[in-house]
Amino acid sequence: MLDELEFTTLTLDQHGDLAVLTINRPQALNALSGEVMSELVEAIEAVAETAEVAALIITGGGGKAFVAGADIAELSRLDGVYAGRETSLSGQNVMHEIASLPFPTIAAIDGYALGGGLELALACDVRIASPRAKLGLPEVTLGLIPGYGGTQRLPRLIGPGRALDMMLTGRQVGAEEALQMGLVNYLAENPLEKAREVAQQMTRNAPIALSLVKEAVRRGLNGSLEEGLEIEADLFGMAAATADFKEGTAAFLAKRKADFQGE
């Protein structure tokens, strides 16, 4: 069970088929230190290897922040191009591992999601924010640029114009504006509770189909529309060959609940 794993900066809980990963450095507004990033890798690998897990929620502890950004004290010690590049690549790898998980991932955001914190949320499939949330990529105010995937994932999500506005000004957007621009999917007074609700809606569906939807979107965004449609057709064919497809259609015709087995 995931609950048996011990971390210094994280907690990882499993509730049936749902895993909840909490960044737990409230004294530092859950900033992404090197230790946090290292433990994130370990936690994500453990979640990926746990067959019972059908969805993952990532949130922040302490009530003031999801993740307020990278650890600035650590960043300030970067010296030179090589060190900066390696730090960026390492952070990108963590976010890639999250984005590549074959099941739904949801960021439950209460408070600040800035810099690396927003990049962590962007690596998730869905983002749910409280009315108190503040989101932004303020790296230019430190003489940096987003380095954990922000310059690539944010424009793909909300369009280059809105993304450039956020990144070039370094401004923080509130929850309502984030919802309007499509940066978050839902607003909720209790985002973790809402995340559980949304996760349940997702995981009652066929797990292979969920994985193939994610793969189709991820791969399709890297090419042209025509290439994306070819990918969709290939993955549709794979879905049509599953036992879950047979079960889903049989259940629909019999007016009963489907019993998906992930086969």
Percent of the chain residues topping a pLDDT of 70:
100
pTM of the full predicted structure?
A: 0.94
Dist. CA 119–CA 112, nearest whole Å: 12
More confident residue, 262 or 193: 193
Dist. CA 3–CA 48, nearest whole Å: 14
More confident residue, 36 or 75: 36
Encoded amino acid at 179, one letter? L
The 10s digit of each residue's pLDDT in 148-189 is 999 999 999 999 999 999 999 999 999 999 999 999 999 999
Q: What is the mean pLDDT of the chain?
A: 95
Lowest-pLDDT choice from 19-28, 49-58, 62-71 = 62-71
Q: What is the structure's pLDDT at 6?
A: 86
Q: What is the structure's pLDDT at 212?
A: 97
The 10s digit of each residue's pLDDT in 76-134 is 898 889 999 999 999 999 999 999 999 999 999 999 999 999 999 999 999 999 999 99
Residue 134 contacts residue 183 (beta carbons within 8 Å): no
Q: By C-alpha distance, which of 199, 167, 168, 205 is closest to 185?
A: 199
| Interior angle at CA 37, CA 71 and CA 188, nearest 5 | 80
Residues contacting 64, CB < 8 A, separation 6+: 26, 29, 111, 112
Order of strands across the sheet with 134-136? Answer: 65-67, 112-114, 134-136, 173-174
Q: Give me 13's structure tokens.
A: 């809980």
The 10s digit of each residue's pLDDT in 207-230 is 999 999 999 999 999 899 999 999
Residues contacting 75, CB < 8 A, separation 6+: 87, 142, 144
Q: Give me 162's structure tokens.
A: 């809105």
Catalytic residues: 119, 139
The answer, yes or no, to whether residue 262 has pLDDT greater than 90, is no
**pLDDT band at residue 5 under the 50/70/90 scheme:** confident
Q: What is the structure's pLDDT at 202?
A: 96
Percent of the chain residues topping a pLDDT of 90:
89
Q: What is the structure's pLDDT at 256?
A: 93
